[in-house]
Amino acid sequence: MDHFINLTLNGLALGAAYSALALSLVLIYQATRLVNFAQPAFALLSVYAAFAVTQITGSYWLGFGAALITGMTAGAAAERFVVRPIARVSPLNGVIVTLGMLLVVQGAVGMIWGNEQHAFGYAFSYVGRFSPADIFAVSAVAGVALLLFLLYRFTAIGLRMRAAAHHPEAARLSGVRVGLMLTAGWAIASFIGALAGMLAAPPFLYPNVFDIVFVFGITAAVVGGLDNPFGAILGGMLIGLGGSWVSGYVGPELATLSALVIVVVVLSVRPDGILSRPTARKV
Amino acid sequence: MSTTTGQRPEPSTGAASTPPPSLPEKWRALPLPARNLLGAAVALLVVTAFLAVTGDLTALRLATVGYTFLALAGLQLLVGGSGQISLGHGAFMMIGAYTMALLVLHLPMLPLATNLFIVVAVSAVAGIAVGAATARLHGPYLAGATLILAVGLPGIAHRYHDLFGGSNGLNIRTVGVPPFLDGVVTTSEWRALVVWFTVLLVLAALATISGGRLGRRMRAIRDDETAAAMSGIPVGRTKVVAFIIASAAGGLAGGLQAYALGTVTPSSFALVLSLTLIAALVLGGIGSLWGALWAAVAVVYLEVWASDLARAMDLGHNVQHNLPIVLFGVVLILVLRFWPLGLHGGLQALRNRIARR
Amino acid sequence: MSETPLLKVEDLTAHHGAVCALDRVSIDVPERGLCAVLGANGAGKSTLLRTLTGLHPATSGRVTLDGEDITRLPAERAVTKGLAHVPEGGGVIVELTVEENLRLGGLWRSRHDPETLAEVLDLFPPLVERRGKPAATLSGGERQMLAIGRALMARPRVLLLDEPSLGLAPMVTEQIFTLLGDLRERTGLTVVLVEQNAAGALGVTDHGFVLNQGRVAAEGPSDELLSDDRTRHAYLGF
């Protein structure tokens, strides 16, 4: 029983990072209708920025701030200068170009910092059951999700962003600068992606550190429903818990397969994810 | 080979040949399978000639282009033909490669052709399982589910270490040059020829499939699933069939890879393989076998050039190691930016512009 | 029309690919005018409105609003110049609530404007009880009201309406047309009304333009157009 509780708490902490990454994917999917494969690359760049800043200044929190700023900037620049001109021509090309950015950023990070592992610390002590680091992970993601909800639901810019995502033309006619809103959406999403990176990277940092995290993140987004931010959080927790239980009781190599089983089971019951809203299909 | 999803029946042919201009009517009068087989034969001649000129050094590289081409052609059928996006194509290559390796290790008496048939059968069965489980999914949901397959599968090789050899993988020895050709071709040249023979034979079959009823149904589904269903096309079944064919092609490509390289490791089927395949396909051009060919050439040769370049410029180890992936990404982004239809579309536009002058 | 027009369109030309959708269209709309733009399907009526607000690019020609050139202004700036456009079908955002749709309309002026919101809700009683509900739950007529309400939230000088009667019951259409007349009386609003329902539109407007294949084929006071048998038969089909 004790083992089970340990695994569950561990799963929640892992799930927090997956939820954050899933949330960043869902925000971009809602705004631009594409899955952003470059999200882990932006997170990677952000965490390496944090690594560099922390090395120079000696302060973890300055590095943390640098990561969030780097993530926002990378997301905004990618949307404005790379994705927008390409996705306008063909949505599939828009998805594939995010893959291209993933390869470029991952390779560039390897060129600058090398492919070897660097030690990368936690924000707080990671010792013990549900350690301070775990508590920080869960509460940071919960806090960001709450802020995001308030932003979208109750502020003018949130209303503009939702209008731009759902009905660009009507939004333009109401004076909303749709392009700017999309860029802002990517910036916010990549901000959250950078947070996910800071939570998921320790104890080591290397160019492929987020491959598995990203796969769990996209799985979480798909399981929860790509249209629903709450689904992303729920999906992230499900994948985190499932993975933790399977690694604990069966073996860590099969953790990814547990995610596969969750995806297949959930999607065979609800092909658009757990929390998808039934929407009229455009014919 | 004719185009996989060409809207008009192009009288186009083998990898580098065009029918004699005086005979286009005769050519068109031939049945589609015969045209595709003839095209494949011509293409095989071209490959042989290329091999004869360049010699042993490029043989392995050429074999790599060959099986990558086959894997991409299968993916092309799926993505370009029926509009389903699979990010797990590398998983089927892995299934094929491991099937091949296990057959050679445990049933060494079987001839290569039998092994290849078994490889196709096994990966087709895997395709049935995955295709049936994902038949109701669409767009990003299918992509997500197949992605996790690509990542999860190598875990099995690690888990069942005794059978699959863990991270070291399996090493196999396959029969080399037949006695009567001893001294005429080297082992790697022979393997390259075997790979290309198999690949072209299967491509002729794929081209015939996509030129026929199944191909038309798949394109109807790609263009508008609802309309296709309302015109009586069995949408679910057609999508699963497309998925199975693509999986079998991917598996066979993996089997040929194991045969050509003589080694199978889980790391060669990592996530980046599946992602590179789909990216390369868009880079080459969605919708035609030519696109798949350019994609295969790009995948293999961009890496070669990048490594050569890094070595020639004496760049640092970190740069050298990462240059291929960065170069591939940059080329991908630039091609999508300026040639939205991929290399094939871009080259066609270029040719048209020159022809108009 | 002796006074200087509020909205002046001169030789406006626009293309859909190679097809010329608007061919040197010139239209003057005076302040407080209520104009109808009529014509068959594909005559260029919607394209005219879309080109006025910048949703569709003009090939050549000029659009001025109160003397200011707005031809090349991007669509999101049109509303800030006082030009509100209700697109065909209304363009209600069904994922947002009724109140959010309305607030969106006034957002360019201020974040929070309870007075205008109250005024607009006064005009459309059916929307009041639904203000917290998603716009997806509204009927066709209510959606059209919401779309017009959202445009009015911007406090426009000119309201461009694209086929508000489309798919609505005749009684609802009549309500909407009556409302346009009232608004002009009370607030001095200028209205350009694109309609296929020529008889209804000419009944409430004071001036009409008939478009045919991208050109202005006829124009004049609404009652004259209504009584001119030749124009009626040739272009308006009744």
Q: What is the pLDDT of residues C106-119, one digit of tens each?
A: 888 877 778 888 88
Q: In this complex, do A111 and B147 lie within 8 Å of one another by their Cβ atoms? A: no
* Helix segments in A201-254, DSSP class H: 211-224, 229-249
Local structure of residue C168 (DSSP, 8 states): -
φ/ψ of C179, rounded to 5, equals: -60, -40
For the whole model, what pTM was predicted? Answer: 0.84
Shortest CA distance from C101: residue in chain A:
A163
Question: Any long-range contacts for A82-89 (C-beta under 8 Å, 24+ apart)?
Answer: A82/B333, A82/B337, A83/A32, A83/A34, A83/A186, A84/A179, A84/A182, A85/B337, A86/B333, A86/B336, A86/B337, A86/B340, A87/A32, A87/A34, A89/B340
Among candidate residues B196, B192, B185, the one with its CA nearest the CA of residue B41: B196
d(CA A217, CA A20): 8
User: pLDDT value at position B15?
Assistant: 45
User: Do B278 and A99 touch, CB atoms closer than 8 A?
Assistant: yes
d(CA B92, CA B249): 9
User: How many beta-carbon pairs under 8 angstroms link A with B?
Assistant: 148
Superfamily of domain C5-91+158-236: P-loop containing nucleotide triphosphate hydrolases (3.40.50.300)
Per-residue pLDDT of chain C (238 residues; tens, 9 = 90+): 446 788 889 899 998 888 888 889 999 998 888 999 988 888 888 899 999 998 999 899 999 988 888 888 888 888 888 899 999 888 899 888 998 999 998 888 877 778 888 888 888 888 888 888 888 888 888 888 899 999 999 889 999 999 888 878 888 888 888 888 888 888 889 999 998 888 888 888 888 898 888 888 888 888 888 887 777 777 666 6
Mean pLDDT to the nearest integer, B244-259: 92
DSSP string, B155-216: HHHHHSHHHH-GGG-EE-----S-GGGBTTB-HHHHHHHHHHHHHHHHHHHHHHHHHSHHHH
User: pLDDT value at position B16?
Assistant: 47
| CB-based contacts of B263, cutoff 8 Å, min separation 6 | B169, B170, B171, B172
Residue A133 counted as domain residue: yes
Nearest to B326 among A35, A103, A255 (CB): A103
Residue A257 counted as domain residue: no
d(CA A229, CA A29): 10
- Strand pairing category for C158-162 and C190-195: parallel
Cis peptide before C5 (omega within 30 of 0): no
Q: Is B299 helix (H, G, I), strand (E, B) or coil?
A: helix
Amino acid at B228: A
d(CA C221, CA C238): 18
Angle CA B299–B303–B309, to nearest 5: 145
Q: Is A209 helix (H, G, I), strand (E, B) or coil?
A: coil
User: pLDDT value at position C236?
Assistant: 67
Q: Which chains touch B (3 or more CB pairs under 8 A)?
A: A
Residue A265 counted as domain residue: no
Cβ-based contacts of A259 with chain B (< 8 Å):
148, 152
User: pLDDT value at position A143?
Assistant: 92
Cβ-based contacts of A160 with chain C (< 8 Å):
104, 107
Inter-CA distances, C66 with C12, C29, C31, C189, Å = 17, 10, 9, 14
Starting at the edge strand that comes first in sequence, how are the strands of the sheet with C5-16 ordered?
A: C19-30, C5-16, C60-65, C68-69
Cβ-based contacts of A159 with chain C (< 8 Å):
96, 100, 103-104, 107
User: Do B74 and B89 touch, CB atoms closer than 8 A?
Assistant: yes
Q: Does C217 touch chain A (CB under 8 A)?
A: no
User: pLDDT value at position B3?
Assistant: 41
Nearest to A169 among C79, C80, C91 (CB): C91
Task: Give burial (CB, 10 Å; 0-12/13-18/19+) of A139.
Answer: exposed
d(CA B40, CA B30): 15
User: Do A159 and C103 touch, CB atoms closer than 8 A?
Assistant: yes
Q: Is A125 left (phi over 0), alpha (psi -120 to 50) or beta?
A: beta
Q: Does C15 touch chain A (CB under 8 A)?
A: no
Q: Which residue has the higher pLDDT, A271 or C130?
A: C130
Among candidate residues B272, B140, B134, the one with its CA nearest the CA of residue A35: B140
User: pLDDT value at position B107?
Assistant: 85
d(CA B17, CA B25): 17
Given the cut 0.95, state whether the ipTM is greater than it: no
User: Do A96 and B274 touch, CB atoms closer than 8 A?
Assistant: no
Q: Which residue has the higher pLDDT, B186 or A42?
A: A42
d(CA B11, CA B22): 13
Inter-CA distances, B224 with B221, B229, C208, Å = 5, 9, 42
User: pLDDT value at position A236?
Assistant: 92
Q: Is the pLDDT of residue B6 over 50?
A: no
d(CA B142, CA C9): 51
What pLDDT digit, counting tens, does each position of A123-163 carry?
777 777 778 888 888 899 899 999 989 998 888 889 999 89
Mean pLDDT of chain A, nearest integer: 87
Mean pLDDT to the nearest integer, B74-91: 84
User: pLDDT value at position B121?
Assistant: 92
Would you kindly state where each structural domain of chain B is located, as residue ranges? 24-271
Q: Which of A10-19, A156-165, B213-222, B275-284 is least confident? A: B213-222
CB-based touch A/C (3+ pairs, under 8 A): yes
User: pLDDT value at position B18?
Assistant: 54
Among candidate residues A246, A247, A193, the one with its CA nearest the CA of residue A221: A193
Residue A67 counted as domain residue: yes
Q: Which of A24-33, A250-259, B6-15, B45-54 is least confident? A: B6-15
Mean pLDDT to the nearest integer, B127-136: 83
d(CA B255, CA B100): 5
Count the neighbouring beta carbons within 10 Å of the beta carbon of residue C123.
Answer: 15
Q: Does B161 touch chain A (CB under 8 A)?
A: no
Q: Which residue has the higher pLDDT, C223 or B175?
A: C223
Q: What percent of chain B has pLDDT over 90?
A: 11
User: pLDDT value at position A277?
Assistant: 65
d(CA B208, CA B187): 32
Nearest to A257 among B155, B226, B329 (CB): B155
Residue A40 counted as domain residue: yes
Q: Is the pLDDT of residue A210 over 70?
A: yes
CB-based touch B/C (3+ pairs, under 8 A): no
Amino acid at C117: L
Q: Is the pLDDT of residue B162 over 90?
A: no
User: pLDDT value at position A133?
Assistant: 84
When divided into structural domains, chain A yields a total of 1
User: pLDDT value at position A282?
Assistant: 38
Q: Is the pLDDT of residue B79 over 80?
A: yes
User: Do B79 and B278 touch, CB atoms closer than 8 A?
Assistant: yes
Q: Is the pLDDT of residue B126 over 80?
A: yes
User: pLDDT value at position C3?
Assistant: 62
Model confidence band, residue B92 (pLDDT cutoffs 50, 70, 90) = very high
d(CA A240, CA A108): 30
Q: Is the pLDDT of residue A251 over 90?
A: no
Q: Give the range of the structural domain holding residue A174, as residue numbers without chain letter.
A: 16-209
User: pLDDT value at position A278?
Assistant: 54
Would you kindly state where each structural domain of chain C is located, as residue ranges? 5-91+158-236
Q: In this complex, do A173 and C55 lie within 8 Å of one another by their Cβ atoms? A: yes
Q: Is the pLDDT of residue A44 over 90?
A: yes
d(CA B97, CA B151): 16
Q: What percent of chain A has pLDDT over 70?
A: 98
Count the neighbouring beta carbons within 10 Å of the beta carbon of residue B72.
Answer: 28
Angle CA A139–A143–A149, to nearest 5: 145
User: pLDDT value at position A65?
Assistant: 92
d(CA A49, CA B265): 34
Q: Any idea how long chain B is?
A: 357
User: Do C167 and C155 touch, CB atoms closer than 8 A?
Assistant: no
Measured over the CA atoms of residue C47, residue C50, residue C53 and residue C58, the dihedral's sign is negative
User: Do A44 and A109 touch, CB atoms closer than 8 A?
Assistant: yes
